A = this chain, B = another copy of it.
Amino acid sequence: IPLSRTIRCSCIKISSRPVTPKSLDKLEIIPKSKSCEQVEVIATMKNGEKICLNPESKAIKKLLKNVTKER
């Protein structure tokens, strides 16, 4: 994933670390905009850490599906 050249994107580095709904405090999805040409998925972990995830990866698409399924 090339480093982002536009400084107004929040995500500079994309983590490929597996993330489960249980480890998540919050998931933020920022659609593409004039100030940032890429969709950004930012996970705030329960330990307070914030990591950027790859919106294109199957694992993250699956996470998005499962996180709303939590009964």
Contacts and interface: CB of A to CB of B under 8 A. Distances in A.
A65 B61 contact: yes
A60 B67 CA distance: 12
A14 interface: no
A68 interface: yes
Given A27-B29, A28-B26, A39 B67 contact: yes
Interface in A9-40: 21-22, 24-33, 39
A32 B65 CA distance: 14
B28 A28 contact: yes
5 contacts: A26-B30, A27-B30, A29-B67, A61-B65, A64-B65
